[in-house]
Amino acid sequence: LSIIFNTILNWNCRVAKYDSEISSLSSNIVDATLQTYRNAMRELRPTPMKSHYTFNLRDFSRVIQGVCLCRPYEGFSKDTFIRLWVHECLRVFSDRLIDETDQEWFFKNTNELVSIHFKRKLDELFMPLYKGDQTQANVEVSRNLLFAKFLDPNQAIKVYKEVSDFEALSSTVDQYLEDYNGESKKPMDLVMFMFAIEHATRIARVLAMPGGNMLLVGIGGSGRQSLTRLASFMLEYGLKQIELSKNYGKIE
């Protein structure tokens, strides 16, 4: 596993032209991901309530694939690279966890691995993410850690980069929604509050990956379809949907 994923990540660092200081972290990222994967398999066991707590090598590869989505941009640093790895682990593993106890465990595990493999603490790394009276890294603060590929609608080549200005993110998503409603025959009357924007960003991240796929779980009317439509529009993708009806047969 180390040989396979180190080869992929080292190749990506060369192609993306990362600084040697940043690309030197690639082996640490592979080791930390391997330990995250093994710890999750050991501690987060499937039960009748948590039947989807099954982890396999696809999850390992998705973390590495997410890290490979990023290209160096202005202001990109070693700390950004480590935050990128934490973000991908949160998306691949933590987004699947259904209760606070499991999320707290995963966050604590990630904090320990960052300390072991990168010799840093999340309290320091998350300093740019603190809002209001937040002074310590925790699960709530980790919600502010987002990377997205649609932040600059005017760029021809979309860059996967860290979200640093949430007001700008909100206005960008609102603008996309306005453009979508202007073009669509079925406009969506949505209020894009922060939770909805976070979910749209998560969906867009998966759709941006080659062969990206996901299962959206939630009660009816919670916005799964609407946010998927918006996320695909933000990435300039076409969208097809199977319409089920009484006459749905082999031809359809």
Cα angle, residue 46 at apex, residues 43 and 50 outer, rounded to 5°:
115
CA 47 to chain centre: 25
| Residues 169-181, mean pLDDT to the nearest whole number | 94
pTM: 0.92
Q: What is the pLDDT of residue 220?
A: 87
The residue with greater pLDDT, 244 or 40, is: 40
DSSP state of 236: T
Q: What is the pLDDT of residues 103-145, one digit of tens each?
A: 999 999 999 999 999 999 999 999 999 888 888 999 999 999 9
Predicted confidence at residue 135, as pLDDT, reads 85
C-alpha to C-alpha distance for 26 and 8, rounded to whole angstroms: 10
- What pLDDT band is residue 171 in, cutting at 50, 70 and 90? very high
On the question of pLDDT at 156 being above 80, the answer is no
Q: Are 43 and 131 in contact (CB under 8 A)?
A: no
Q: What is the mean pLDDT of the chain?
A: 92
pLDDT at 247: 84
- CA distances to 116, 142, 154 from 224, rounded to whole Å, are 38, 22, 27
For 59-86, what is the mean pLDDT? 93
Whether residue 246 has pLDDT greater than 90: no
Average pLDDT for residues 67-80, to the nearest whole number? 91
In the predicted structure, residue 245 carries a pLDDT above the cut 90:
no
Which stretches of the chain are assigned E, i.e. beta strand?
A: 147-148, 161-162
- Residue 230 CB coordination number (10 Å): 25
Rounded CA separation 183/171 (Å): 19
User: What is the pLDDT, as a whole number, of residue 154?
Assistant: 81
The residues, ordered by sequence, that sit 6+ positions from 106 with a Cβ below 8 Å of its Cβ are: 40, 44, 90, 93, 94, 97
- Per-residue confidence band for 24, with pLDDT thresholds at 50, 70 and 90: very high
What pLDDT does residue 6 have? 95
Which of 11-25, 95-109, 235-249 has the least mean pLDDT? 235-249
Q: CA-CA distances (angstroms) from residue 181 to 57, 228, 242?
A: 40, 14, 21
Q: How large a percentage of the chain has pLDDT more than 70?
A: 100
Spatial distance between the Cα atoms of 47 and 51, rounded to a whole number of angstroms: 5
Nearest-CA neighbor of 68 among 130, 149, 144, 132? 149
pLDDT on residue 133:
84
* Closest by CA position to 46, among listed 107, 97, 100: 97
Residue-level pLDDT at 33: 97
- Give the mean pLDDT of 192-215: 92
pLDDT-based confidence at 172, cuts 50/70/90? Answer: very high
Do residues 200 and 191 lie in contact, with contact meaning Cβ atoms separated by under 8 Å? no
Quote the CA–CA distance of 207 and 220 in Å, as a whole number. 22
How confident is residue 252, by pLDDT bands cut at 50, 70 and 90?
Answer: confident
